[in-house]
Amino acid sequence: MLGRGHIERVAERVWEIRKTFRNDMRVPARLYADEDPMTGEVAPASFHLKEGKRYRIRMHNASDDIHPIHLHRHSFELTKISGRATAGILKDVVMLGGYQDAEIDFVADNPGLTLFHCHQQLHMDFGFMTLFDYV
């Protein structure tokens, strides 16, 4: 999985989640969101969201791979791509190019386990995914 991340308040009603993606396929694979196929243990969520709060995910791709980043169960607003501010672009997948930065905002308005991952199957097989849950 992507591993535990960091959530920090950056402005009134906006919380930031920062993540850097690297080309490191040594991370052990996990089966999507529910359980480890070897042990049957439930995978813990890496990020704990509060319902109704607005979150910003700042991403940096530190590799030359293209990553189609997908957030399940929510739509997000693309607010910045490659240093250029944007507004009003609603999506659930954003293409993060090699060595590119992006920022997305979403409101935690759909309680439950939520998968956040790269849509390339090989990357998911090697654990390029994480879970959000609601507290």
Q: How confident is the model at residue 23 (pLDDT cuts 50, 70, 90)?
A: low
Closest alpha carbon to 32 in 120, 94, 125, 132: 125
Number of domains within the chain: 1
| Average pLDDT over the chain, rounded to an integer | 79
Is residue 1 in a domain? no
Structure confidence by residue, pLDDT tens digits, 111-130? 999 999 999 998 888 778 88
Q: What sign for the dihedral angle of Cα 61, 63, 68, 71?
A: negative
Place of tokens 């109704």: 52
Is residue 20 in a domain? yes
Domain boundaries, position 71: 6-134
Q: Helix (H, G, I), strand (E, B), or coil: what is residue 84? A: strand
pLDDT at 128: 83
